[in-house]
Amino acid sequence: MNALKRNNVKFTGRGKKVMLFSHGYGCDQNMWRLITPAFQDDYQIVLYDLVGSGQSDTSAYSRAKYSSLMGYAVDVLEICRELDVRDAIFVGHSVSAMIGVLAAIAEPDRFEKLVLIGPSPCYINHDDYVGGFSREDIDGLLDSLDSNYLGWSSAMAPVIMGNPERPELGEELTNSFCRTDPEIAKHFARVTFLSDNRADLPKLKTRSLILQCSQDVIAPESVGEYVRRNLANSRLVVMKATGHCPNLSAPEETIAAMKTFL
């Protein structure tokens, strides 16, 4: 099966330069629906689902291949090769920010710029690095997820989303989590929250925008600042938007920051 079918690749837009959007954990390409219309006149929009998410071919999910984020980065590069993409704009949310970083390190000519929304190279605190969670926190989160995925989704999605005054946002993320195959979601969570890509950051040469939300429980401001310090050709924008999903909660601010950078 080719990568376009496997990853449920969809196209829109009227431009020639490619803008490739990659969604976060427990989500799918629909999470970009408030962002992409602003870029359709100037870009060829490429949307896809991570294997195991959305309408991807879940039969292609391999625990061995996807035991690290590099497995997902390989998929990005396969999509780019099949479309003969060069000098694309890659937009990655949450875990997909690091997937994009890994892909751009491996084949830098594929990407002109990266937009990294809520990136975190490591979620666990280490010595003077503040990732936002202790190892005990992460182990507890993964144990809860393993024992009751639907219950975990209902409890955690609104926390991740933030914006409690807009409960419909938390409900959308909860529903998205609950549509994901629980066994795949459990494995992907373990890979995501135990990953440590700090050593990869200095290898990236591609120009990057880091979009950091305020009051983000998944990727606190200390992480955004760490990413900025360790990406040589990067710019950090701290947004007024709160929570971890500004593509849904603050699309106008997200679009404005992207357009300024681009």
DSSP the chain: --HHHHTT-EEE-S-SEEEEEE--TT--GGGGTTTGGGGTTTEEEEE---TTSTTS-GGG--TTGGGSTHHHHHHHHHHHHHHT--SEEEEEETHHHHHHHHHHHH-GGGEEEEEEES--SBSB-BTTB--SB-HHHHHHHHHHHHH-HHHHHHHHHHHHH--TT-HHHHHHHHHHHHHS-HHHHHHHHHHHHT-B-GGGGGG--SEEEEEEEET-SSS-HHHHHHHHHH-TTEEEEEEEEESS-HHHH-HHHHHHHHHHH-
- The string of pLDDT tens digits covering residues 117-130 is 999 999 999 999 99
Active site residue 134: no
Active site residue 216: yes
Residue of 53, 176, 216, 249 with catalytic role = 216
pLDDT at 1: 64
pLDDT at 255: 98
Residue of 94, 120, 195, 208 with catalytic role = 94
Q: Which domains occur in the chain, in start order?
A: 3-123+196-261 (3.40.50.1820)
Write out residues in the chain with pLDDT < 70, as ranges. Answer: 1
Residue of 22, 23, 53, 244 with catalytic role = 244
Active site residue 41: no
Q: What does pTM read for this prediction?
A: 0.96
- The string of pLDDT tens digits covering residues 234-249 is 999 999 999 999 999 9
